[in-house]
Amino acid sequence: MSELSNLLRQRLASGPGVKVRSDGHPDADTLTAYVERLLPAAERNRVFEHLAACSHCREVTAMALPGPAEEQQVVATVPAGRRWGFLWNPWFRLAAALPIVVIVATVLFQRNQTVENFKRDSAAPPATYNEKAGAKDSSAPEAARGESDAQPSANGIAGKTPSGVNDALGNARGAASLAAAPAAPARNSATTTTNEPVMMARAGIPARRDYVNSDFFANNTAQDGVPGTVTAAVNVGELPPAPSPRVSNQFPSPTLSINAANTMPFIDMPTQSTGTQTVRTIAPPSGGSHWGIGTLTALGPKAKKALAKSVSPSIPVGGLSFSAMELNPRTQPSEAAAAARPPDSGVSGLEDAGAFRSRARSDSSVTAKAEMREAISGSWRISSGRLVRPGEAGNWVEACPGSAAIEFTTFTTHGSELWAGGSNAALIHSRDGGATCKRIVLGASATGAIIRIEVRNASVQVKSSSGQSWSSQDGGETWKMDE
Amino acid sequence: MSSGSRPVDLALLTVRELFEKSGGQRYGLTETDFCSILEQVAAKYVPGVASEQRQQFWRELKLEELALARGCAAGHEHAWQVFLTRYREKLYDIARGITKEDSRARDLADSIYGDLYGTAEKDGRRVSRLSFYMGRGSLEGWLRTVLAQEFVNRYRKQKRLVSLEEQAEDGVQFSAAVQDTSGPVDRRLASAVDSALEQLPAEDRLILAAYYLDNRTLTEIGRLVGVHESTISRRLEKLLKGLRKQVLAGLMAQGMNRGQAEEALEADVRYLQVDVSRKLQENRPAAFQQDKGSD
């Protein structure tokens, strides 16, 4: 290409130059209108023709150009209809509309997929569980699936694929139809629903608002000590009192056998799309006496109140709390911390419907923050004051079994090393992943709950809710209170 | 101010509306005067068009500035006050921007002031240069263009008058007389280049002329054409590619094979007799041939 450039340049340099022609120049008005881009296209083209041939006018025009600051003013003087005329160009409009169409089509496609997933799930027959060996009945494959799904193990989370996300979406959204089929499976809700916010967050899907969290009860067969599942339908528009214990009518509780250790009641309420809220149960990991309710997202105060009146069980002290709320920034920590343990004594918890909310409110912010942190950190988590992690068998393994009196509020881990703090300035240290723990006494004057633990090599610093700060420079052997 | 008769097809309401919009009354113009001015402008730029088109053309004029300029040209005192208030400092600023020197700028602006006031007389009447303002662009832009024209004209006049000694004192070195380089001329190459240049759109030829003839920067060309400099860069590259293709095609159309055509293109350009500037000038349209230096 350079040879052509040189060719042009050389010939121009050796040529006679451009003469100033005294006739036929555009007048000052035309040149001004050209500079200010006010000429019609045809006339502008004629000016182009002239300028290409006339160095004098090129020179004048170049000098008549306003400076950069003035140029902006000139552009501003161009009639708006001309400046923005391209907006009415059909090709421009077509090009602008194309991405919008693509986005809308994508959203619709995803929504359809979600609905189909839900239909597929909801079309599955209800199942009963047969988890204990030799327990009653039936639908063995389904029960097996339900059982495996019901265990929110770390493997279950890690094993999720993108399609699993869709399934989770389908399951969760499809929960509305569970109201129409009350006995529909609580089976397939556990893992998907429990992990759903996490997976949604990992998949970049924003947490949904149409999931309603509320308390729930489980244990419709108090006399057997076997918890069951309950499905309650609530009209969102009017929020009438939810059907009170239809439990025994809806579930074949006499024949239902669920391992309490692997079952957790759960509420999942898609509201906006169907106008119906549905309560489902899932199988959680916990000890037999350790029941809880997972909290997914925010519930409107009106709906929450109505639900609390109708279906909430009493929640005794303790209970398993999930930190899924952290994935929904609009959710209050206290709601996330709202977890409940069904009463060991049976279904009488139904009368204590408001306990869930009371419990949620009474949870200290310290606990809520700790739960938020643990959702980020490893597999350890604090559940109602207990430090637990999912076991390999799908159950929850409690750390430091001997420290039951401590209500943990915070912890920190580094490899197999575990530091955990709790109420009454209690601090434990484990070097073997929680199997054996050492209770550490900070000092006689230590008060408040431990709210923060910072470990750097051998330097450990803890802070309590009473404002005290204790530090150790020898890995926790000796402690002194910081000023 | 002449008071020409109002044409039959002139919409009275339109003129009245435009006159009110221009505020010409403040500058001593009457509606009849203003109508006459509008007719003059339309006759110059859109002769023989339909009445609706002419009225549309009028609406796009800078009416207020047109009335001000014509008021000044007519010697209206208030119009001059307004003009000086608005444009006196601007005129000096523009001149300074053009000349890059304060004293020359003041000199240039003062000379233009004289022309604007109307030092020359025609038929016993003072002729102001402002009477040539037609309102197609802003008055400030028009003043800038007038100043630029004046500066270029002065420069070219003075350039011719500079003595060789003076230039030598300034350190100018004179080249030897141009040798006749008409050696092994390949006229086929010349005609192929001419043909390729002729086929270019006017805007592209302007870009080429500004780049190769005037040695303007991409930024300057961009401002001249009204696009971003990066666009000019891309267009220049594209232009050169297209030109090369066309020249090669032209050479092959004249009986060369591709190898010969490329060899001819790579020939020493000193032997090429292509006057691009002349070719560019030849494409000049007759559109402005009738504009006999009205200003």
Which residue type occupies B144?
Answer: R
Answer yes or no: are the C-beta atoms of B27 and B7 closer than 8 Å: no
A51: chain B residues, CB-CB within 8 Å: 206, 209, 224
Confidence at A72, pLDDT banded by 50, 70, 90: low
Does the beta-carbon distance from B284 to A59 stay under 8 Å? no
Question: What is the SS3 assignment for B122?
Answer: strand
Least confident of A180-194, B110-124, B129-143, B262-276: A180-194
Give A99 to chain B, closest Cα distance, Å.
Answer: 25
Condensed to tens digits (0 to 9), the pLDDT of residues A258-273 reads 444 444 444 444 444 4
Interface test with A, best of B288, B289, B294 (most A CBs within 10 A): B288
A7: chain B residues, CB-CB within 8 Å: 193, 265, 269, 272, 274
Interhelix angle B77-99/B102-117, rounded to 10 degrees, is 150
Q: Whole-angstrom Cα distance, residue B63 to residue B54?
A: 14
The encoded tokens of residue A314 equal: 């009493």
Question: What is the SS3 assignment for B94?
Answer: helix
A1: chain B residues, CB-CB within 8 Å: 237, 240-241, 244
Query: Taking 70 as the threshold, does the pLDDT of residue B46 lie above it?
Result: yes
Give the pLDDT confidence score for residue A103 in this predicted structure: 93
Winning range, highest mean pLDDT, from A192-201, A231-240, A260-269, B254-263: B254-263
Does the beta-carbon distance from A60 to B278 stay under 8 Å? no
| Cβ-Cβ contacts under 8 Å for A278 (sequence gap 6 or more) | A175, A176, A177, A178, A179, A231, A232, A233, A268, A269, A270
Sign for the pseudo-dihedral over CA of A326, A330, A333, A339: negative
A23: chain B residues, CB-CB within 8 Å: 289, 292-293
Q: Whole-angstrom Cα distance, residue A341 to residue A384?
A: 9
The count of other CB atoms within 10 Å of the CB of residue B264 is 18
User: Does B243 lie at the interface with A, CB-CB under 8 angstroms?
Assistant: yes
Answer yes or no: are the C-beta atoms of A218 and A281 closer than 8 Å: yes
Answer yes or no: are the C-beta atoms of B141 and A35 closer than 8 Å: yes
* Exposed / middle / buried, residue B90 (Cβ in 10 Å: 0-12, 13-18, 19+): middle
What is the ipTM metric for this complex? 0.80
Q: Whole-angstrom Cα distance, residue A188 to residue B232?
A: 63
Give A69 to chain B, closest Cα distance, Å.
Answer: 13
Does the beta-carbon distance from A18 to B281 stay under 8 Å? yes
> Which among B242, B206, B147, B90 has a CA at the least distance from the CA of A73?
B90
User: Does B214 lie at the interface with A, CB-CB under 8 angstroms?
Assistant: yes
Interhelix angle B31-45/B63-73, rounded to 10 degrees, is 110
Give the pLDDT confidence score for residue A337 in this predicted structure: 40
Give the pLDDT confidence score for residue B133 in this predicted structure: 93
Does the beta-carbon distance from A50 to B287 stay under 8 Å? yes
Confidence at A100, pLDDT banded by 50, 70, 90: very high
Query: Taking 80 as the threshold, does the pLDDT of residue A420 lie above it?
Result: yes
A48: chain B residues, CB-CB within 8 Å: 201-203, 205-206
Nearest CB among A25, A50, A77 relative to B285 is that of A50
Rg of chain A in Å (alpha carbons): 35
Least confident of A226-235, B81-90, B92-101: A226-235
Query: Taking 50 as the threshold, does the pLDDT of residue A19 lie above it?
Result: no
Q: Whole-angstrom Cα distance, residue B230 to residue A173?
A: 52
Answer yes or no: are the C-beta atoms of A218 and A228 closer than 8 Å: yes
Averaged pLDDT score across all residues of chain A: 59
Tell me what percent of the residues of chain A surpass a pLDDT of 70.
37
Does the beta-carbon distance from A3 to B145 stay under 8 Å? no
The count of other CB atoms within 10 Å of the CB of residue A387 is 28
Which residue type occupies B227?
Answer: V
The count of other CB atoms within 10 Å of the CB of residue A310 is 20
Alpha-carbon torsion angle A115, A116, A118, A121, nearest 10: 170
Q: Please provide the DSSP assignment of A146-184 as one string.
A: HHHHT---HHHHHT--HHHHHHHHHHHHGGGHHHHSTTS
